[in-house]
Amino acid sequence: MNEYLSSICKEVIAGNQTEVIELVDKALKNGILPLTILKEGLTRGIESLGTKFKTGEVYLPEILISIRAMNNGLNLLKPYFRSSNDFQHEGTIVIGTIEGDIHDIGKNLVRLMLEGTGFRVVDLGVNVSSSSFVKSVCEHKADIVGISALLTTTMIHIPNVIHALKQNPLCDRVPVMIGGACITRGFADEIGAEGYAIDCTSAPEEAKRLMKGREKRL
Amino acid sequence: MNISARNRFLNISHFKTHDLCLPSSFFLFWPETLTLWMEGGAPHTIKNGKGRMNYFKLDHARFLWEVHSGLEVAHYEFRGQLYTYFITPLIPSYESRIIEEDENSLIITNEAGQKMMINKIHAGNMPMYLDHPVRDKASWENIKKRLDPESPGRWPVVWDEYATRFHNRDYPLGLSVGSLFGFLREWTGLERLLFWMYDDPMLVEEMMDHMVFLETVIIKRVLKDIKIDFALLWEDMAYKAGPMISPEMFRKFVMPRCSKITELLRKEGVDIIFVDSDGNIDKLIPLWLECGVNGFWPLEVAAGMDAVAIRKKYGKEVILAGNIDKRQLTKGKELIRNEVMSKVPFLLGQSGYFPCIDHLVPPDVPFENFIYFLNLVREICGLEKIDNLLPIIR
């Protein structure tokens, strides 16, 4: 890999925003394409955090400073892209906390991770009803729906969203991924949610897996 | 002869007996749960702590709530509906007021200076925090003024009379000894605190140092006149995949300060020191042990906590409370029995364990399931059941 790109990746992982800005600037001046800098430098750095998170090499503070460093680098690249679709290339995900639940810390971290790995995220916020999920999925032509729930008393509303999506021919094939304190893989399987992320760093990997499945179906 | 709840609590904590103790202070309920139970036919006596203790045959245990040293329960009453949340012990507190209201929610600033959204439809849900009072060093100074251990409002008015009430008691008495990570997060918000651990570690350390100052002054004053049986730190610094900060950061920020608090407690004869943290604390247990904390509650099953495995790994180094999966209590009797029988007989057999639910009892737990759980535990210990007290559930 190009020296600049590997250094950008390394500094994103270390969360060094000043170094990332300098390196992105230098990479651009040396003729490296913005999309290459994004994919091979910035995004690669964020993606490798997922593995480090799972092995306990990094924790939430390190994730946050890495995402901040990446976003600072991305700000330098944005003027080179015609539209946000150029750097949000992985797909569109509508996310929200389920109806009755107003917790958003986990959901917000998932949003940051997804954006950092190239997804376009439409965040509906908290206490989101089935109809709002469906409306937004259709409006934004979303590829995936992400639903968060903290409480046992609210996770029971997630099947309503899945049911509502299946009832609408415009979004009946959009896969759902879920997560949150009370959610398990078993629960996801039980209610027919195709994706499950145990934590924020697992979300991009799971979303990419769902995207591949979606491409095959389409 | 009956052994007092206090002696049972102490003997269990010191691994001297295989007896049962169900400390009432470890049995917490969402207000909505109690409302639903009462609407379904449960006696209205369960509305208050004493009534619940008697009805569920729990063992009286209490904290020195009148000394404002730890996380406190607060209520906001709006059009006859009571909303419950937890606040930090700021004296004087902020004025609580409504900022916005719509069909589904209320936005208020609470007594701890936080802006929060309350769900009007699901009154029992925890609020969502929208803003926090500490944004920089200057705003920290404003909060710090409200963390004076000598503030008269922090203490019962007639201290000597108050302290005398706890002499010759037969129940365990606990003292909340505050929080390091948890309180800071309440004041700054999680994201800001985590950023500051890199961007402004000196401010984080200064804030934590002040918490040590606050709590050590309180501990010294309390223990001069009252013999307490256990202490409780509140941290909630883990989620279901593990701690919110790395072990290295824990060692840097939390450990030296937590150790100062536990050293003082132990010097004064308090050797039962619990920490309350939801989430998966597997990686934090050895660190807390190193800091002098030896009790762990509530051991959340949904986050992968397993009290049996912890007991096998740490032996008599740890006192455990909780770990009965709240989710199983929403299901049938067979699953509740599996949950209880797979843990409680072994753990009681080892001593150093207090059986209770792994969080507040949520509103989707049927009353009869909760009674079934209690009776199972009583049955294991050869105690009389409480079926005869069951109302007719319709």
Q: Which residues of A touch B303 (CB under 8 A)?
A: 181
Q: Is the pTM of this model over 0.95?
A: no
Q: B297, B211, B299: which is closest to B256 by C-alpha?
A: B211
Q: What is the pLDDT along chain A (218 residues), one digit of tens a residue?
A: 689 999 999 999 999 999 999 999 999 999 999 989 998 999 999 988 888 888 889 999 999 999 999 999 999 998 998 777 777 778 999 999 998 887 778 898 899 889 988 899 999 998 899 999 999 999 999 999 999 998 888 899 999 999 999 999 999 999 999 999 888 999 999 999 999 998 888 899 999 999 998 766 65
Provide the 3-class DSSP secondary structure of residue B252. helix
CA distance A217 to A212: 9
Tell me the nearest-neighbour CA distance from B161 into chain A, angstroms.
Answer: 43
Residue A197: closest C-alpha in chain B: B241
* Domains identified in chain A and CATH numbers: 3-85 (1.10.1240.10), 89-217 (3.40.50.280)
Residues of chain B with pLDDT under 50: 388, 390, 392-394
Compute, in degrees rounded to 10, the torsion defined by CA atoms A134, A140, A141, A144. Answer: -70
* pLDDT at position B296: 98
What are the tens digits of pLDDT across the range B131-157?
A: 999 999 999 999 999 999 999 999 999
What are the tens digits of pLDDT across the range B249-270?
A: 999 999 999 999 999 999 999 9
Contacts of B190 (CB under 8 A, 6+ apart): A60, A105, B244
At A78, which amino acid appears?
K
CA distance B282 to B5: 30
Q: Which residues of B touch A60 (CB under 8 A)?
A: 190, 194, 244-245
User: How far does CA A50 lie from the centroid of its chain?
Assistant: 12
Q: Which residues of B touch A102 (CB under 8 A)?
A: 105, 117, 119, 125-128
CB contact under 8 A, A64 and B191: yes
Q: Strand pairing of A91-97 and A119-123?
A: parallel
Mutate to test the interface with B, among A53, A54, A112, A127 (most CBs of B within 10 A): A127
* pLDDT at position A192: 95
Domain B5-70+133-389 part of CATH 3.20.20.210? yes
Asked whether the beta carbons of B184 and B208 are under 8 A apart, the reply is: yes
Helices (H) and strands (E) in chain A, counts: 12, 5
User: Which of A105, A106, A153 shows the shortest C-beta gap to B362?
Assistant: A153
Per cent of chain B over pLDDT 70 is 97
What 8-state DSSP symbol labels residue B316?
G
N- to C-terminal Cα separation, chain B = 39
Contacts of B74 (CB under 8 A, 6+ apart): B84, B85, B86, B87, B110, B111, B112
Provide the 3-class DSSP secondary structure of residue A44. helix
CB contact under 8 A, B245 and A199: no
